[in-house]
């Protein structure tokens, strides 16, 4: 049991770090599972790795509560209207990944959730991260996300259905391509995670329980530990990323992705 608790703690730690950094949380979790002997039941682990994302979502909600809560008494009528407009953009951006995930989810789980896919996508997007934004931006980037740009960012987010891509990385890259400043794109990426990850978690829970599975007391404990760890670590990483992308951009993450992807492919083939 102690080993299982340590695994839950480690997976929560990796989730909290990699969910927000553009290096692919799913990819790192797949690699970690391939490297370490996991004592979890397959059905439970499939639930666990999705549900712990709820801890990461809770961190976003807490850090940006005033921005996201439309009923705050401290907001003027105009500010409340702006908050509702923000939620409208978030929901628009959520649609592409939700539709494609519903259509292709089982196929992706069966054929692409493996170290080979992760290694390839880590390297591919790592190379893209090394390209300076000025190469593809035709005009000065904006610090606002319009409804049209929100839909475009949502289309980029759907690329993250392929493991190793990184949801935050795809949305940051998409935001840059669409002419959104990196800090604004990063913040919108955080907000976009809320319905995306909450929907994925709910869907996975329904699948799990409708299939007749139940959770033991020990499994509830593992879920709680992993989720709480992801929440605490996410609070630190979110603040770090907002400051980091202002100063350095995505190139350092590109170097990490290429290095890790190369090691994964060498390990896979050799």
Q: What is the pLDDT of residues 37-84, one digit of tens each?
A: 888 888 898 899 889 999 999 999 999 999 999 999 899 999 999 999
Name residue 180's beta-bridge partners. 142
- In three-state secondary structure terms, 232 is helix
Cα-Cα-Cα-Cα dihedral sign, residues 83, 89, 92, 96 = negative
Name residue 238's beta-bridge partners. none
**85: pLDDT strictly greater than 90:** yes
**136: pLDDT strictly greater than 80:** no
8 Å CB contact between 45 and 38: yes
**254: pLDDT strictly greater than 80:** yes
Name the pLDDT band for 102 (thresholds 50, 70, 90).
confident
Q: What pLDDT was estimated at residue 142? A: 81
Q: What pLDDT was estimated at residue 111? A: 87
Q: Which residue has the higher pLDDT, 213 or 140?
A: 213
8 Å CB contact between 53 and 14: no
Q: Cα separation of 133 and 124, whole Å?
A: 16
Give the chain's mean pLDDT: 89
Run of H or E including 103? helix 77-111
Tell me what the mean pLDDT of segment 216-236 comes to: 94
Distances (CA, A) of 137 to 3, 180, 187, 200: 49, 9, 20, 33
Tell me what the mean pLDDT of segment 142-155 comes to: 91
Name the pLDDT band for 138 (thresholds 50, 70, 90).
low
Q: Highest mean pLDDT range out of 72-76, 136-140, 213-217, 220-224?
A: 220-224
Q: What pLDDT was estimated at residue 139? A: 65
Q: Which residue has the higher pLDDT, 31 or 254?
A: 254
Tell me what the mean pLDDT of segment 208-235 comes to: 93
Q: What pLDDT was estimated at residue 223? A: 94
Name the pLDDT band for 103 (thresholds 50, 70, 90).
confident
Tell me what the mean pLDDT of segment 173-188 comes to: 89
Q: What is the pTM of this model?
A: 0.86
């Amino acid at each position: 049991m102690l080993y299982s608790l340590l695994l839950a703690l480690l997976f929560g730690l990796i989730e909290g770090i990699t969910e927000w950094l553009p290096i692919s949380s799913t990819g790192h979790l797949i690699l970690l599972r391939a490297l370490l002997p996991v004592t979890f039941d397959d059905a439970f682990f499939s639930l666990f790795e999705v549900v712990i994302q709820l801890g990461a979502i809770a961190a976003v909600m807490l850090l940006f509560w005033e921005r996201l809560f439309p009923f705050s008494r401290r907001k003027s009528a105009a500010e409340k209207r702006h908050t509702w407009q923000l939620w409208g953009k978030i929901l628009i951006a959520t649609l592409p990944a939700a539709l494609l995930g519903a259509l292709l989810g089982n196929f992706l789980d069966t054929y692409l959730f493996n170290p080979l896919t992760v290694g390839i996508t880590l390297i591919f997007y790592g190379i893209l991260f090394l390209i300076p934004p000025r190469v593809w931006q035709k005009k000065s980037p904006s610090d606002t996300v319009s409804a049209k740009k929100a839909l475009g960012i949502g289309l980029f987010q759907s690329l993250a259905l392929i493991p190793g891509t990184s949801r935050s990385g795809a949305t940051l890259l998409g935001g840059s391509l669409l002419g959104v400043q990196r800090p604004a794109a990063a913040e919108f990426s955080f907000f976009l995670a809320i319905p995306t990850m909450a929907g994925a978690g709910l869907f996975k829970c329904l699948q799990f329980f409708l299939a007749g599975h139940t959770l033991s007391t020990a499994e509830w404990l593992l879920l709680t530990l992993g989720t709480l760890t992801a929440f605490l670590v996410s609070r630190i990483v979110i603040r770090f990323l907002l400051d980091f992308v202002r100063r350095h951009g995505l190139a350092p993450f590109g170097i990490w992705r290429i290095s890790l992807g190369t090691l994964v492919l060498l390990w896979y083939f050799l």
